[in-house]
C-alpha cells in the first residue's frame, strides 16, 4: 500500500444523528475510490463499516469503525461513528483524532436531537467541521428548511457550498457554488456530467456564490483586498479562504447529497482533499503538561492510542494516531503512562474488519497494531527518553448504574475478567466492586448502552448475567450523647469468657472541646476509609480493664461501624469514650472485650438519636428552554433542591442537588420528558440526613432481612 506524506492525509469523523446515513456515505466513498466493486447496504448487513453481529442485529452502528479511501492522490481516513447518545464515547474518541468533523443532516428530519447532542462535543474539541445534508432524494426532503434550522442552531458560519436543483424522487443534479457548475448524475449515481448552470438558476446561484466569496474573503486581509479590488475571487483563492475559515470556526461549509444513490459523495471527497485542513495545518496538539506538539514528520515519534478493540480469535487491536514523527514496523516505543516498552511488530490500515499491512506511517496518519501487551486507550507511546504524554480524552461519567451478577455463581471470577476486557474497549463503561454494597456496579451511558454490554457478555463470552438495582451507600451517625454498658459472660466446659465495658458515645464534629468529665489516658483519631472520623478515648483508671484489652474494645466498635445498627451501612463521625468496666483474672480475653465493646456501642447507638445519611449529587441538566418547566417539575418530585440556572446557546442548564436514590434510571426518564433532547451529568456532593419517613422505611427493611 502506498505511503502518503503528511500533507496528503486527511482524517474525517462522520458524525450525526442515527439514520442520517453515515455508514452509507462511508460505503459510497470507498466505492467512488474504486476500493469496492459493489456498494453494500445497512439493510443487507454487508457494509464494510457495520460488521459486528450486534450492528447487524440492530441495523445501526454501535462502534466507531475506521476505514480509508484514496482520492486524487490524497488518502482520507474515515471514522464512521454511531448516532445514538448511548455510544457517545465512540464519537468522542473519533473527534479527538479527526482533523475535520463531517456532520450528517437528514434532509427529511432537519437538525435532530442527536445532531444537537453531538454538536456539544464538536464545539468542545473545536475541530473544523462541514455539514452534509443527506437524503435529498427522499420525497419529504427539505434542503432549505434543514439549512435554516442549522443556521438557527449553529450560527451564521453555516455556508452553503451547493444545493440540489430538484429534491425528492427527481433528484439528480447539484448546483456547485465553488466551481459555479451543475453536476448531473446518471440514474445509478457515480461520476456526474459537469454542465453550465441553467439560466433560470443563475440569479440564485450568483447570489449564494457572492455570500460564499464574502465568507472566504473575511478570513484573510489579502483576500479581502483582492475581493474589494476585483469584486470576486478565483477558485483557488476561495479554497484558501474557506480553509482559513474552517480552521477558525468562521465557516461551516454545507453540501448536499444522496449517499444511497452515490450522488454527491465524490464532490464532497474532492472538497475534503483540496480544502479541509490536514493534521499539519491544525493547531499543535497539547501535551499533558500544556506544551505544544507540532504534527511534524521530522519530529520525535509519538503515538496516541484512541481506541482498543478485542476481537475473538485475533486478540487486542490498538487504534492510534501518529501525532509526531514516523512509526515503522519493528520499532520499540515506550508507554509513557506505564514505563513499559512495546515493540510495533505489525502495522495495518483498517477497513472495517479487513487489515491492510503497511510498513510505515507518518505524522497525521491513523493506523492499527496488534497485541500491545501493556498499552490501552488514552495512553501515549513515544521514543525512549522523550517523555511526551498527549493530553488524554476525557470521557463522560456514567449516567445509569445497575448491579450485575453471574447467574451461575461459579462464573463470578470469569465475569470479572470479561468486565475488565469490556472496560478496556469502552472507557465510558465503569465497573466498581463494592464491598460496602456487596454488589458489582456496572455504569454506562443509558439503558441501550448497558443492554449492549449484556448482549456482548452473553453472546460473545457465553456468560449468563442478571442486572439489578444498585444499593445506595447510606451512612449512619448519631445526633446526641448516650451511655451504655455491656457484660459479656460465657461459661462452657473449658475456659470461660468475661468482659464488661462502660461506654459513652457522642456526635463528632471538628473543633469540639475535649471531654472533661473523664480523665483521658489515650486518644486516637481514625480517618475512616468511607469518610468521616472515629475519635476513640481510653479513660480507664485504676486498672479495671487491663491496657492490653483496649485495642480489642476498639476493634469491636470498628466492626459494628462497618455494619451499622440501623441499615448495615457504614457509621461515621462518632466520639467513643470507654470510661469503666470489669475483667476476670482467668476468663477475660481479647474476644470477650471485643464482643463487649461491640454490643455496648450498639446499645448506645440506638439511644443516641441515630440518623441515616444519604449521598447527595450535584446534577447539571442540559435541556431546551421550552422544556425547562417540565424538567424542573420532575426534579422536585425527586426531592431535588434547585441551585440555579444558566443558559448555553438555546439550551438551559439546570443545576440541582438530588439524592442518589432518586437518580435511578433518571437518564431514561429525562429522555422521555425531553423527547431525547436533554442530557445530564452528576457528581457526588455531600451526605445529608434522609427524611424521617424514609429512615423508618429503610430501618424496617433492614430489620426484616436480619430476622430472616
pLDDT at 493 over 70: no
* Distance from the Cα of residue 406 to its chain's centroid: 25
Helices (H), 300-384: none
Q: Are strands 482-490 and 497-507 parallel, antiparallel or unpaired?
A: antiparallel
State the pLDDT at residue 318: 97
pLDDT by residue (tens digit) across 97-150? 999 999 999 999 998 878 888 898 888 888 999 999 999 999 999 999 999 999
Q: What is the DSSP string of 369-436?
A: EE--SS--TT-EEE-TTT---BPPP-PPPPSEEEEEEESSGGGHHHHHHHHHHHHHH-TT-EEEEETT
The answer to whether domain 612-694 has CATH 3.30.300.20 is no
pLDDT at 262 over 70: yes
CB 124 within 8 A of CB 247: no
Banded pLDDT at 440 (limits 50, 70, 90): very high
CB 481 within 8 A of CB 441: no
What is the DSSP-derived secondary structure letter of residue 675?
T
Q: Which residue has the cell 482520507?
A: 76
CB 421 within 8 A of CB 378: no
- Per the model's pLDDT, the better-predicted residue between 7 and 147 turns out to be 147
Banded pLDDT at 651 (limits 50, 70, 90): confident
State the pLDDT at residue 708: 43
The mean pLDDT of the chain is 93
d(CA 18, CA 495): 74
How much of the chain is in helix, strand and coil states, percent to nearest 5?
30, 35, 35
- Do 612-694 and 400-468 have the same topology in CATH? yes
Q: Nearest 10 degrees: CA dihedral of 275, 278, 281, 287?
A: 150
Burial (CB count within 10 angstroms: exposed 0-12, middle 13-18, buried 19+), residue 221: exposed
Task: Name the residue ranges covered by the structural domains of the chain.
Answer: 6-214+251-281, 285-382, 400-468, 476-603, 612-694
- Per the model's pLDDT, the better-predicted residue between 687 and 2 turns out to be 687
Q: Are strands 315-324 and 366-370 parallel, antiparallel or unpaired?
A: antiparallel
The topology (CATH level 3) of 476-603 is Ribosomal Protein S5; domain 2 (3.30.230)
**pLDDT > 90 fraction of the chain, expressed in percent and rounded:** 79
SS3 label, residue 25:
helix
CB 291 within 8 A of CB 370: no
β-sheet with 400-406: strand ranges across: 430-434, 439-444, 400-406, 465-468
Residue 514 dihedral angles phi and psi, to the nearest 5°: -70, 150
- Per the model's pLDDT, the better-predicted residue between 706 and 143 turns out to be 143
- Which cell numbers in the block locate residue 344? 510495533
| CATH architecture designation of domain 400-468 | 2-Layer Sandwich (3.30)
What are residue 366's DSSP bridge partners? 321
What is the average pLDDT across 549-556?
Answer: 97
Banded pLDDT at 73 (limits 50, 70, 90): confident
- Which cell numbers in the block locate residue 454? 449484556
What is the average pLDDT across 339-366?
Answer: 94
The answer to whether domain 6-214+251-281 has CATH 3.40.50.300 is yes
State the pLDDT at residue 316: 93
What is the average pLDDT across 630-635?
Answer: 95
pLDDT at 427 over 50: yes
Write the CATH number of the domain with boundaries 285-382: 2.40.30.10
- Per the model's pLDDT, the better-predicted residue between 494 and 311 turns out to be 311
3-class SS string, 27-53:
HHHHHHCCCCCCCCCCCCCCCCCCCCH
Q: Nearest 10 degrees: CA dihedral of 240, 245, 248, 251?
A: -150
The 10 Å Cβ neighbour count of residue 182 is 20
pLDDT by residue (tens digit) across 38-72? 999 999 999 999 999 999 999 999 999 999 999 88
State the pLDDT at residue 430: 95
CB 239 within 8 A of CB 275: yes
Amino acid at each position: 500500500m502506498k505511503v502518503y506524506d503528511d500533507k496528503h492525509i486527511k482524517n474525517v469523523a462522520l458524525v450525526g444523528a442515527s439514520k442520517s446515513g453515515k455508514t452509507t456515505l462511508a460505503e459510497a466513498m470507498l466505492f467512488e475510490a474504486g476500493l469496492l466493486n459493489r456498494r453494500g447496504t445497512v439493510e443487507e448487513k454487508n457494509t464494510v463499516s457495520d460488521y459486528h453481529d450486534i450492528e447487524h442485529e440492530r441495523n445501526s452502528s454501535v462502534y466507531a469503525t475506521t476505514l480509508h479511501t484514496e482520492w486524487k492522490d490524497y488518502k482520507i481516513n474515515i471514522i464512521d461513528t454511531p448516532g445514538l447518545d448511548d455510544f457517545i464515547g465512540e464519537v468522542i474518541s473519533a473527534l479527538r483524532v479527526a482533523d475535520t468533523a463531517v456532520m450528517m443532516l437528514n434532509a427529511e428530519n432537519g437538525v435532530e436531537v442527536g445532531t444537537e447532542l453531538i454538536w456539544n462535543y464538536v464545539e468542545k474539541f473545536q475541530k473544523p467541521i462541514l455539514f452534509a445534508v443527506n437524503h435529498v432524494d427522499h420525497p419529504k426532503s427539505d434542503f432549505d428548511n434543514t439549512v435554516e434550522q442549522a443556521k438557527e442552531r449553529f450560527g451564521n458560519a453555516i455556508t452553503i457550498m451547493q444545493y440540489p436543483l430538484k429534491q425528492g424522487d427527481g433528484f439528480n443534479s447539484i448546483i456547485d457554488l465553488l466551481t459555479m457548475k451543475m453536476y448531473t448524475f446518471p440514474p445509478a449515481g457515480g461520476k456526474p456530467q459537469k454542465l453550465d448552470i441553467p439560466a433560470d438558476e443563475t440569479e440564485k446561484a450568483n447570489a449564494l456564490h457572492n455570500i460564499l466569496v464574502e465568507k472566504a474573503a473575511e478570513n484573510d486581509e489579502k483576500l479581502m483586498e483582492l475581493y474589494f479590488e476585483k469584486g470576486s475571487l478565483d477558485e483557488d483563492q476561495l479554497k484558501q479562504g474557506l480553509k482559513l475559515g474552517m480552521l477558525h470556526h468562521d465557516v461551516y461549509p454545507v453540501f448536499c447529497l444522496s449517499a444511497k444513490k452515490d450522488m454527491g459523495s465524490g464532490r464532497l471527497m474532492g472538497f475534503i482533499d483540496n480544502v479541509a485542513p490536514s493534521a499539519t495545518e491544525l493547531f499543535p496538539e497539547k501535551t499533558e503538561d500544556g506544551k505544544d506538539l507540532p504534527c511534524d514528520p521530522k519530529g520525535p515519534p509519538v503515538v496516541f492510542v484512541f481506541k482498543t478493540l478485542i476481537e475473538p480469535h485475533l486478540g487486542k487491536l490498538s487504534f492510534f494516531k501518529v501525532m509526531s514523527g514516523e512509526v515503522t514496523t519493528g520499532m520499540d516505543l515506550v508507554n509513557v503512562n506505564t514505563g513499559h516498552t512495546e515493540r510495533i511488530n505489525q502495522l495495518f490500515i483498517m477497513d472495517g474488519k479487513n487489515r491492510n499491512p503497511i510498513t510505515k506511517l507518518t505524522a497525521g496518519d491513523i493506523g492499527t497494531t496488534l497485541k500491545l501487551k501493556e498499552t490501552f486507550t488514552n495512553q501515549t507511546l513515544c521514543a525512549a527518553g522523550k517523555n511526551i504524554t498527549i493530553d488524554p480524552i476525557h470521557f463522560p461519567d456514567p449516567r445509569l448504574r445497575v448491579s450485575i451478577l453471574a447467574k451461575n455463581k461459579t462464573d463470578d471470577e470469569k465475569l470479572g475478567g470479561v468486565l475488565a476486557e469490556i472496560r478496556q474497549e469502552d472507557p465510558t463503561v465503569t465497573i466498581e466492586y463494592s464491598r460496602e454494597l456487596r454488589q458489582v456496579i456496572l455504569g454506562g451511558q443509558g439503558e441501550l448502552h448497558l443492554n449492549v454490554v449484556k448482549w456482548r457478555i452473553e453472546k460473545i463470552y457465553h456468560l449468563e448475567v442478571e442486572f439489578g438495582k444498585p444499593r445506595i451507600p447510606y451512612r449512619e451517625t448519631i445526633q446526641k450523647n448516650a451511655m451504655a454498658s455491656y457484660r459479656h459472660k460465657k461459661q462452657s466446659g473449658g475456659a470461660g469468657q468475661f468482659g464488661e465495658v462502660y461506654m459513652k458515645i457522642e456526635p463528632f464534629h471538628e473543633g469540639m472541646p475535649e471531654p472533661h468529665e473523664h480523665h483521658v489516658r489515650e486518644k486516637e483519631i481514625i480517618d475512616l476509609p468511607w469518610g468521616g472520623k472515629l475519635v476513640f478515648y481510653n479513660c480507664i483508671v485504676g486498672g479495671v480493664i487491663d491496657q492490653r484489652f483496649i485495642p480489642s474494645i476498639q476493634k469491636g466498635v470498628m466492626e459494628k461501624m462497618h455494619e451499622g445498627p440501623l441499615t448495615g451501612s457504614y457509621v461515621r463521625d462518632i466520639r467513643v469514650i470507654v470510661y469503666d468496666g470489669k475483667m476476670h483474672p482467668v476468663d477475660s480475653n481479647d474476644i470477650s472485650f471485643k464482643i463487649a465493646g461491640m454490643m455496648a456501642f450498639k446499645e448506645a447507638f440506638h439511644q443516641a438519636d441515630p440518623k441515616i445519611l444519604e449521598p447527595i449529587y450535584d446534577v447539571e441538566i442540559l435541556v431546551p428552554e421550552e422544556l425547562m418547566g417540565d424538567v424542573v417539575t420532575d426534579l422536585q418530585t425527586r426531592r431535588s433542591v434547585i441551585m440555579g440556572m444558566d443558559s448555553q446557546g438555546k439550551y438551559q442548564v439546570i443545576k440541582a442537588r438530588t439524592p442518589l436514590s432518586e437518580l435511578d434510571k433518571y437518564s431514561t426518564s429525562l429522555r422521555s420528558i425531553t423527547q431525547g433532547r436533554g442530557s445530564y451529568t452528576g457528581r457526588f456532593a455531600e451526605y445529608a440526613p434522609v427524611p424521617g419517613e424514609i429512615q423508618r422505611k429503610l430501618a424496617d427493611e433492614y430489620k426484616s432481612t436480619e430476622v430472616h
